[in-house]
Amino acid sequence: MSQKAEFIKDLSLPVVAAPMFLISGPQLVIECCKNGIVGTFPALNQRTSEGFEEWLIEIKTELDKFEQETGKKAAPFGVNLIVHPTNPRLEADVKLCMKHKVPLVITSLGAVSMVVDAIHSYGGLVFHDIIKKRHAEKAAEAGVDGLILVSAGAGGHGGTLNPMSLITEVKKFFDKTILLSGCISTGRDVASAMQMGADLAYMGTRFINTEESKAPEEYRKMIIDAGASDVVYTAAISGVHANFLAASLKAAGVTEEDLKKDTKIDFGKELNTEAKAWKTIWSAGQGVTSIDNVLPVADLVQQLKEEFKTAVTQQASLLQTYPKD
């Protein structure tokens, strides 16, 4: 019996649009799902559990309407939950996921079997993001259905390991769904992730530059103007290492000396919470080097499909040349 998520075969492309803090909202999720890829958002993008439930209802209502009007099946949507003692909303938000039977729950900062069991109780799936083998082993023990391998260069709380080595390590003990994250911005990148052994590509930064994201125009322009060397990996902003756009750090007055610290900067009264910091200090992955525009989700997905098909076709043609006897 296959250990892979069954919904994969129904997608138009093996892609999950990652949940991005302050960026992903209902509009982005809905358009992703309508166009055959998984759309997700962090529960904490809504300031209250009541607001979180309103978003769940909106997404479900719009996707149901889409399916009734078109006769097409929308891709499943997902919610990101922070599984950590510092999240006071975890219990309430898990109950809402159960109430509304959220198809996919993505857990971060802790894989807890209690949460996994709660989501499994109604048939939901749990994917957990990891940056190293030890975290993957703990999540596997908790019974998760999939692992999101966050490799070097990924936006947000990225890891430092090469994706090839990370996939190789994890596949030795985990035979369920594997998602790869890190610098995936084009359809060719998606094809490369599949070649490395992933079941799904996990794309974040590329979806910041869509018309449906909640990113301000200045953020999108900064991504267009940035290259891989303009992304800085530091723990100074949130206390956990993450990738940020250097230009936004400079604009916020963060110095080179600040970036060398392993502890979170005290931003004072102007930026006295992490949420406020992330509103003006913008995260992105090294995949910015491939992003030069802002597109509607529908156009982006179509572009990704064409790039993916071209890449796979070119790879297949290599069999006519290699291997030689």
The span from the first CA to the last CA of the chain, in angstroms, equals 36
**How far apart, in whole angstroms, are the C-alpha atoms of residue 219 and residue 221?**
5
The pLDDT score that the predictor gives to residue 95 is: 98
The pLDDT score that the predictor gives to residue 103 is: 98
The pLDDT score that the predictor gives to residue 118 is: 98
- Average pLDDT of the chain is 93
The pLDDT score that the predictor gives to residue 280 is: 85
Q: 8-215+294-313, which class in CATH?
A: alpha beta
CB atoms within 10 A of CB 140: 18
Regions of the chain where pLDDT drops below 50: 1, 269-272
The pLDDT score that the predictor gives to residue 271 is: 44
The pLDDT score that the predictor gives to residue 213 is: 98
The pLDDT score that the predictor gives to residue 269 is: 45
The pLDDT score that the predictor gives to residue 30 is: 98
The pLDDT score that the predictor gives to residue 112 is: 85
The pLDDT score that the predictor gives to residue 258 is: 80
The pLDDT score that the predictor gives to residue 270 is: 46
**How far apart, in whole angstroms, are the C-alpha atoms of residue 40 and residue 134?**
25
**How far apart, in whole angstroms, are the C-alpha atoms of residue 320 and residue 316?**
8
Instruction: Please state whether the peptide bond connecting residue 163 to the residue before it is cis, i.e. omega within 30 degrees of 0.
Output: no
> DSSP label at 253?
T
Task: Looking at 152-289, list the stretches that DSSP marks H as alpha helix, in order from N- to C-terminal side.
Answer: 163-171, 187-195, 205-208, 217-225, 246-251, 256-259, 274-280
The pLDDT score that the predictor gives to residue 2 is: 63
**How far apart, in whole angstroms, are the C-alpha atoms of residue 145 and residue 89?**
23
Q: How far is CA 310 from CA 85, 104, 184, 224, in A?
A: 46, 30, 16, 24
The pLDDT score that the predictor gives to residue 274 is: 56
The pLDDT score that the predictor gives to residue 246 is: 96
User: pTM score > 0.75 for this model?
Assistant: yes
The pLDDT score that the predictor gives to residue 168 is: 97
Residue 109 phi, psi dihedral angles, 5° rounding: 60, 45
Beta strands 38-42 and 15-17 are parallel
The pLDDT score that the predictor gives to residue 129 is: 96
Domain spans, the chain: 8-215+294-313, 227-280
